[in-house]
Structure formats: structure tokens, C-alpha cells
Amino acid sequence: MYDSDRVSDNSERTAFRRAEKKYKLYYNDSKPSKRQKQPRPVDLSEVVDFKLVLESFHQNGETPPGIFKLQCDFNRPVFCFEDRPGFYFIPGALSIEEQCHWIRESLTSFPQPPNRTNHNEIYGPIHDLFFSAQKQKVLVAGENLDRDTDSGVHKVDACKWKFSEIPIEMSRGDSCTSIAGSNLLRKLRWSTLGLQFDWSKVDDPLGVTLLILNANIFIVKSVGKKSPPNISSHSIFQRNYNISLPHNKIPETLCELSTRMAAPAMPMGKEFQPEAAIVNYFGLGDMLGGHLDDMEADWTKPIVSMSLGCKAIFLLGGKSREDLPVAMFLRSGDIVLMAGEARECFHGVPRIFTDKENAEVTPLSLQLSHQDDLCFMEYIRTSRININIRQVF
Ligand SMILES: O=C(O)CCC(=O)C(=O)O
Ligand SMILES: [Fe+2]
């Protein structure tokens, strides 16, 4: 049991909260029409940019004050903060081809049952979400499909939702029993690989949906300019991997990749054993609130966290939300490792950049230009995917 530290309505209360507010997407007040709303400008001057750190390291072998290059025989430079032991940043760790591969996998195979997604709770297992959305299919409630042939009576079975070819027009006005696949894809927030978690879902009174994992990981879908949600009323949760839930092993290629990437943060002579992963999907205005990932048994083992798609800001705080967090950019292909003391540090993603200038997805668009890949590019142009892989035991 864990008491997720109570966030009060007062959004300025902690240093972490203030930093979240500083970088979060807000819109300027003047709004002649919804279409013209302008994001509030953000001061990014204090955001650490490891792409620049890497460039200057390659040029002159130097790193900025407070940052050093780890001495290790990894094939790329790994950077650390002097005052944040256990945190490792590997800029550009994944090639463009690897990034595209994991974007495709994250959208097609990772959300497939028995892997669970945030949609499980309402719709039960959903197959082929991504391609059904591309084909404009509609998810239809089981009761429509399950007519009892003897009695002619509808059996109400809300768990059996299935995709149907029915054109979206026909299902309009029937919002209780059908939902467009494209809508579901837009609302896909997470999927889990390997060992599955117990998740709780809470609806905030403001109408903001919080998806809470293990008490303190929550993805906030911001709605308009609503203020940050108050999560104090649901602060105690049972947190655990539920090993009895059906699951597949993490794909071998992802195991190999994460084991290789984890090496700089592993205790001497030990090899990382990937057992579970969370895939986070972020769209415009989405953020991942400050949290700890503390339900794994051995914190000396790192969490291996890969970024794909739009650029984001990552906040790494301290052991208390009162500690001033450091902000850094996360770009597609970057990998972060959090082990040891860093496992006890609050962290989160207050912002993703979906605009052309800041998203930095041009290399992906060049790679995903084949006809079959355009659907992936369309998604990732305004989205970010994070895959974080964990050793549980
Ligand atoms: O999206 C990220 O970069 C971080 C994800 C994360 O911290 C988590 O899922 O626990
Ligand atoms: Fe996390």
C-alpha cells in the first residue's frame, strides 16, 4: 500500500508542481475561435538539451558543469548528472530504422490481447485497434451482436465489444453502443507487455480523466484549460503486478535491446532481465504527472525508457516533491535509465511538442514515407510513445 503524496488543489504547492505548470501546455486567453487558440510561450532556457551536450562532447570532449560522460565500454556516450546518481541519458541511442520499427510495434502488436490497455476496463480485450481505426471501423457493443436466436432477446454483455464494418455515419447518435475506432486510437493511453499490472481508473470531478497505475502514475488528458486535477481523494491504492493475469513474454527483440541498453546502469556482472513493460501514448496536451516507479522488487536494476515520436520535456526531481526538478528534452531515439537512487526520485513528462517546429519528427517522416507507413507517420507526427521496460523480481 502506498500513499501517493497528496496533491492539493493548490497547484503551486510543491517545486515539482511548479515546474510542471511552467512547462505544461496552456493556451492564451484571447480565443476568438477554438481553431485559432495559441499555445502560451514557454521559457525553455533552463531545459537541458543532451543533443547539444553530445555535439559539444564530440567537438571538444567537454561537458557542461554538473554533467559528465560515464566511463564505460558502451558503444555510445552515456551522460549523467553529478547530483543525480543512478540516472543515465543516452542521446540518440536508437537508429531511425529502430525507432520506426518500435513505433509500428507499439501501435499494432503491443496493444493486442492478452496485453492490456486503458480500454480494457470499459470494452474488454480489443483486437486490431490500429488497423481497424485506419479502416474506419466502429467498435460495437456485444449486446448488438449477441442476439439470442431462440428467444430473439438481446443478451446484454457489455464485455463483448467487436469491430464492425458499419460506416461511422450509421452509428452516429448511437453513442452508447458504438464508438469509432479512430476515437479509441486517439484515446489509447497505455498498453502493458509481459507481466501485467493492476490498474485503477478514476474520473476526476472536473471531467479530467486520470488513469492511475499503482497509486501514483497518472496520465492526465487535459480538457481545455481546466486546472490540474486534485487527486487527494484517491490517494491510497493497492499496487501490484498481478502475475495471475494472462500474459505473453516480452518480445525477444525488445528483451535483447533493453538488456543491451541497460548495461551501463547494471550492477557489476549482472544482466538485466526484462519482465514487464509499459507503453505510454501521448497526444496533444497529454502529460504524465510526477510519480515514482517503486513496485519492482530490486531498485538496483534500471528502468529502461525509450522515447519515440514528438519531442517532450522530462522532469527529474528528487526524493521529495519539494526538491527542484531538472528539466531536459527527450527526443525520438533517446534512452533514459533510472536505477538505484534515481528510482526514488519523482519524475514526469509535463509537455510534448506536437507543432512542426518543435516536434522534430522530420527524420521519421523521411523514413516512414512508403505508402504502407503513412498511417504510422500520420499518428506519430502529433504523438509521442514511450516504452519503459522493467525487471520485476
Ligand atoms: O514517458 C516517459 O518518458 C516516462 C514514462 C514513465 O516515467 C513511466 O511510465 O513510468
Ligand atoms: Fe516513471
- DSSP-derived secondary structure for 95-144: -HHHHHHHHHHHHHTTTSTTS-BTTHHHH-----HHHHHHTT-EEE-HHH
Centre of ligand 1 from the C-alpha of residue 72, in Å: 25
Tally of residues, the chain: 393
Q: Which of 169, 187, 205 is a domain's end point?
A: 187
Closest CA to 310 of 363, 273, 252, 270: 363
Centre of ligand 1 from the C-alpha of residue 367, in Å: 25
Which CATH number characterizes residue 215's domain?
2.60.120.590
C-alpha cell at 91: 542521446
pTM score? 0.85
146 is in an annotated binding site: no
- What domain count does the chain have? 2
Q: Whose CA is nearest to atom 2 of ligand 1?
A: 386
The 3-state DSSP class for residue 248 equals: coil
Centre of ligand 1 from the C-alpha of residue 293, in Å: 9
Terminal-to-terminal C-alpha distance of the chain: 18
Let me know: does 310 contact 354? Beta carbons within 8 Å: yes
Closest CA to 47 of 350, 262, 306: 350
Q: Which of 156, 187, 218 is a domain's end point?
A: 187
Ligand 1 cavity residues, CB under 6 Å = 217, 278, 280, 288, 293, 305, 307, 314, 330, 347, 349, 386, 388
pLDDT tens by residue, the chain, 393 residues: 233 334 445 567 899 999 999 999 999 876 566 667 888 999 999 999 999 999 999 999 999 999 999 999 899 999 999 999 999 999 999 999 999 999 999 999 999 999 999 999 889 999 999 999 999 999 998 654 444 444 444 444 445 888 988 655 555 555 457 899 999 999 999 999 999 987 654 444 443 344 444 333 444 433 332 233 333 333 333 457 888 888 899 999 999 999 999 999 999 999 999 999 999 999 999 999 999 998 898 999 999 999 999 999 999 999 999 999 999 999 999 999 999 999 999 999 999 999 999 999 999 999 999 999 999 999 999 999 999 999 999
Domain shared by 160 and 223, yes or no: no
What's the domain range around 379?
A: 2-118+190-390
Whole-angstrom distance, CA of residue 301 vs CA of residue 303: 7
Domain shared by 226 and 283, yes or no: yes
154 is in an annotated binding site: no
Domain shared by 239 and 261, yes or no: yes
Largest CA distance in the chain: 80
Domain shared by 132 and 50, yes or no: no
pLDDT for res 159 = 53
Domain shared by 323 and 205, yes or no: yes
C-alpha cell at 131: 488497423
Is the bond into 350 cis (omega within 30 degrees of 0)?
no
